Amino acid sequence: MLLDACSNVKSANSLFQIVEELKLHACKENPEKPLYGGGLFKTRRGSEDSYMPSLAVHNLTKGTIYSFSVWVRVEGSNSAMISASLETEKDIYQCIGTVSAKRGCWSFLKGGFVLDSSSNLSIISFQNADGKDVDIDIASPSLQPFTTKQWRFNQQYIINTKRKLAVTIHVSDTDGRRLKGAAISVKQISKDFPIGSAIANTILDNLPYQNWFVKRFDATVFENELKWYATERDEGKVNYTISDQMVQFVRANKIIARGHNIFWENPKYNPTWVLNLTGIQLQSAVNSRIQSLMNQYKEEFIHWDISNEMLHFDFYEQRLGPDATLHFFETAHKSDPLATLFINDFNVVEKCNDVNSTVDAYISRIRELQQNGVFMDGIGLEGHFTIPNPSLMRAILDKLATLGLPIWLTEVDISKTLDENTQANYLEQVMREGFSHPSVNGIMLWTAFHPNGCYQMCLTDSNFNNLPSGDVVDKLLQEWQTGRVEGITNTHGSYSFYGFLGEYRISVKYHNRTTYSTFSLSRGRETRHFSVTL
């Protein structure tokens, strides 16, 4: 049955085309052939002909996941951020994909959309995101529809091939003879892919909250308690009392935690006294902040968000110069050489109509920092969604993945403007898309509990009974772990199963002899073989 299920998933996956990494960044002399043979555009003229910057498409249906791609070239400017939009009979979707296009060569735009209502006639248009006049040529358009079931099957195929491995356990006696009929019991004791939730100081001395949290999560991030305005409200009066207590809770329960954040580029979220500093005074305060925080919590946090939301704000670089961020990373690296250093921003993966944080803008900023010598270890995507767009989300993750850095969804939630059931539905879409992408290494939910309401989305009520979003999280946590596996070795003295990546404990019993051992599953494609001797 397991092999049949895997075969069905693999068959469904054959509908999807993989985009080469080079295509996502290259600016080519000629456009390539369209994906999926053009999909709904396949009846158009020659696949590589160029078009005026608009496309008409008929009979789009509600709820279908559409993957869109096209090659783009501009004239009249050396480069331009080109945005594709969609107008249906009832709605306007301001952005279904973007690309930083250049003059004289072709760049690849990939995105997509899901409609709220069906439309007999829709128009896809292209425009310069900054509003300036520029000539736009497009070629090789493709629009491929997928049902929700097909999309889910593809996600499951990726999970089966990237998040799980086949395992064969061999049982022998001390003379090397394989033992038929040995009883195998396997339990997963830790996961390779962390899924966690933010916590706030509300968890301190709140046993029901603590019990609810520890039962589910092995990873967390402090919502506000490490931020500069929380640890040094008044100049020179550093206070880690609350964050120390939260670290103690994390330690006691063997929970990993992200460090969020050292600097926030938005002046609104800096201590008031910092806003009045300039030049040498500000530089001195910055150095003290990094050294104090990272010495206090050296080797405590798996990541540090060094610079938060730099695509949207530049408080420090305005005052300390263009190398301010480089200095942050250098000083942090010296303070804790083993720390994993991230940048973190919003509206990169959530949507594409924020010109400050398109995927190309993020990639450009990361490359600029790397070229200037920044020690950067990971990419943070906040993930504050209203209505998720799975095909756009995947296209953005694919493009970011070409940088070769770990990607984390760091602050996932769904807007409180939506009802609880809709929030839960959309949360599941986001988590499935994140977990099934090979370059995403972890997911943090921005769902710290507050009695008067969470930031955008709560997982429980005030009595710690699950809300619909909490039920979704529990369902996925259960789905994405290997339950207890039990069986008997075959005539070859072997027992096989598929398991999620992570650490395992195994017991093997044969007649009156029992032995215990551990093993781990890490990324790869080959079946893992483990031998046990009784």
DSSP 8-state symbol, 467: P
Say which amino acid occupies 354.
D
The catalytically annotated residue of 225, 411, 428, 433 is 411
Q: How far is CA 456 from the centre of its chain?
A: 18
Residue 411 bears catalytic tag: yes
Q: Is 140 exposed, middle or buried (0-12, 13-18, 19+ CB in 10 A)?
A: buried
309 is catalytic: yes
Q: Are 128 and 90 in contact (CB under 8 A)?
A: no
* Beta-bridge partners for 81: 100
Residue 186 DSSP SS3: strand
Written as one letter, the residue type at 213 is: F
Widest pairwise Cα distance in the chain: 82
Catalytic pick from 309, 382, 428, 433? 309
3-state helix, strand and coil shares in percent for the chain, rounded to the nearest 5: 30, 35, 35
The answer to whether residues 531 and 495 touch, using CB atoms and an 8 Å cutoff, is no
Spell out the alpha helix ranges (H) of 265-358.
Answer: 272-275, 279-296, 315-320, 324-335
Separation of alpha carbons 159 and 221, rounded Å: 25
Contacts of 324 (CB under 8 A, 6+ apart): 286, 316, 317
Catalytic residues: 309, 411
